[in-house]
Amino acid sequence: MVTGASRGIGRAIARKLASAGADVAAIYYLSHAAAESLSAEVRALGRRSIAIQANVASPESIGEAFETFRRDFDRLDILVSNAASGVLRPAMELSLKHWRWCLETNALALNLLAQAAAPLLGRDSRIIAISRLGARRAMPGYAFVGASKAALEALVRSLAQELGPRGIRVNAVSAGVVDTDALQAFPNREEILSEFERRAPMAARLAPEDVADAVYLLALPEAGMVTGHTLVVDGGYSVSG
Amino acid sequence: MSEKAERMSEDHVVTKDEVSAVYPEVAKAIAEALGRDADDIELESRLVGDLNAESIDFLDIVFRLERAFRIKIPRGEIVQDARGDLPEEEFAVKGCLTEVGLARLREYLDEIPLENFRHPMRVSEVPLLFTVETFAKLVVRARRQGAAEKEGQDHGFPPR
């Protein structure tokens, strides 16, 4: 199950896992056509796939999504909490409504998903959350999104501790600037991309597939003792002075 | 430009009765999304100007309407629908509505008083115009589209 699967990083993750042999439940919010086309792509690979509409910030909506999921699938091996949303403004202009929107969509959702998924998760199943460098670094306009991603990473550690005894691993992938539709929301999109490319030692732009590959690595059985970890995928940007 | 391109399709006309039929559920969805009492909501209320809705609220409202009415509202549907068969470059240039584009929009959003349309007007400013009735009409059109697709599928035609 991949949330926010219709576009960008979520879509790349769904494709990667499907190409590695996974069936895919694609959770999406409003992008019906994109979600359906992804599911069609996955089915063309010979895997099963359904698209399910849900608001990941709503317990009721998550409950409905899992009811739908259970009609087609009897277990869940990999849960990827990727859906994200935010309000990009200076902290001094942000309100309680914005806080709730960011924190509920970007952090609470992981907990709601884990709770709903728990009965379907067996030993060796994995939960992987998608975070951002903004969880640890200040970026203009990113205050509440950054705070929500910091909360997400903290939640990953707690869930790893709680679910470890059941053989469930919980990790995060923290991505640098990735060139997706979501970046269109930033007025200085091109400047952000070029600055990232200039400063990252690997000197390349990150593609959604780079993040998907890291999710795949964490999902491998060989990562069987990796849990509570946040794997940074940024071409070395964040360690470079 | 053909006369066809200057006029909207009659398929887009929504009657007052159709609006009234969906209004209570639309008002409920909007009130819940905005955390307001249902009494605060009126058919003529402007989402941004009167109800202080923001872009994230529009997302929430569309999601609630889609679930409540079991419809699909494609992203940017209102502007796309208002443009209809008009070529994109005749509807807006560099993000600004042309004279023809503005006329199309006025005709499509006929629930909105003419004085609320700015000139020039950017496409990104169009949501500032939306009223509760705009969303009620959106629901009516989406239900029609859904019914047409279902009928097409029932008769073996692919959806539009």
Active site residue A97: no
**Cβ contact, residue pair A30, B62, below 8 Å:** yes
Task: Please state, in angstroms and rounded to a whole number, the distance separating the CA atoms of residues A128 and A134.
Answer: 18
pLDDT digits (tens, 9 = 90+) for B12-45: 789 999 999 999 999 999 999 999 999 999 999 9
Beta-strand pair A76-81/A49-53: unpaired
Q: Which residues of B touch A40 (CB under 8 A)?
A: none
Which pLDDT band, with edges at 50, 70 and 90, does B1 fall under?
Answer: very low
**Long-range contacts of range A17-20, CB-CB < 8 Å, 24 or more positions apart?**
A17/A78, A17/A80, A17/A212, A17/A215, A17/A216, A17/A219, A18/A42, A18/A45, A18/A47, A18/A49, A19/A45, A20/A216, A20/A219
**Residue among A28, A29, A149, A237 flagged as catalytic:** A149
Token reading at A53: 């509409």
- What local confidence, expressed as pLDDT, does residue B153 receive? 74
Spot the catalytic one: A16, A28, A29, A142: A142
Q: Give the tens place of pLDDT for each residue, B145-158.
A: 888 887 777 665 55
β-partners of residue B96 are B93, B122
Provide the token pair at B113.
């008083």
Under 8 Å between Cβ of B58 and B73: no
A27 and chain B: CB distance < 8 Å anywhere? no
HSE of B96 in the Cβ direction (CA atoms, 13 Å)?
7
Output B157 or A157, whichever has higher pLDDT: A157
From B56, B74, B75, residue closest to A87, measured CB to CB: B56
pLDDT of B4 over the 50 cut: no
The neighbouring-strand residues paired with A172 are A129, A230
Of B54, B56, B75, the CB nearest to A30: B75
Which residues share a beta bridge with A178?
A: A206
What's the confidence (pLDDT) of residue A12? 98
Contact flag A30-B54 (C-beta cutoff 8 Å) = no
Of the candidate ranges A12-26, A110-124, A176-190, the one whose mean pLDDT is the lowest: A176-190
Angle (nearest 5°) at CA B70 between B47 and B84: 60
Instruction: Supply the pLDDT for residue A190.
Output: 86
Statement: residue A142 has pLDDT above 90: yes
Q: Which of A32, A33, A101 sits opposite B56 (nearest CB)?
A: A101
DSSP string, A137-202: S--TTBHHHHHHHHHHHHHHHHHHHHHGGGT-EEEEEEE--B-SGGGGGSTTHHHHHHHHHHHSTT
Measure CB to CB from residue B72 to each of A32, A85, A97 and give the nearest one: A32
pTM of the entire structure?
Answer: 0.92
Comparing alpha-carbon positions, the chain B residue that sits nearest to A98 is B56
Nearest CA in chain B to A64: B67
Q: Is the pLDDT of residue B160 over 60?
A: no
Q: Which of A89, A96, A101, A102 to mutate to test the interface with B (most CBs of B within 10 A)?
A: A101
* Helix, strand or coil, per DSSP, at residue B89: helix
* Separation CA A196–CA A45 (nearest Å): 34
CA-based nearest residue in chain B for residue A102: B56
- A142 has catalytic annotation: yes
Residue B59 is predicted with a pLDDT of 96
Cβ B74–A97 below 8 Å, yes or no? no
Enumerate residues 27 to 66 of chain B having a beta carbon within 8 A of any beta carbon in chain A. Answer: 35, 54, 56, 59-60, 62-63, 66
What is the identity of the amino acid at A221?
Answer: P
For range A198-204, the mean pLDDT:
89
Closest alpha carbon within chain A to B71: A32
User: B113: part of which helix (H) or strand (E)?
Assistant: none
Binding-face residues of B in 87-146 toward A, CB within 8 A: none
Sequence-distant (≥ 6) Cβ neighbours of residue B128 within 8 angstroms: B46, B48, B49
Q: Taking the alpha carbons of A139, A144, A150, A153 in that order, is the dihedral positive or negative?
A: negative
Strand partners, A51: A26
Is the pLDDT reported for residue B2 higher than 60? no
Model pLDDT, residue B3: 46
Asked if the C-beta of B74 comes within 8 angstroms of chain A's C-beta atoms, the answer is yes
Q: B92: which strand partners? A: B97
* Cα A190 → chain centroid: 23
Do the beta carbons of residue A103 and residue A151 sit within 8 Å?
yes
Give the distance from CA B48 to its chain's centroid.
14
Query: What pLDDT, on the 0 to 100 scale, is given for residue A192?
Result: 86
B94: which 2 tokens?
A: 């560099």
**A33–B67 CB contact, under 8 Å:** no
B39-79 per-position pLDDT tens digit = 999 999 999 999 999 999 999 999 999 999 999 998 888 89
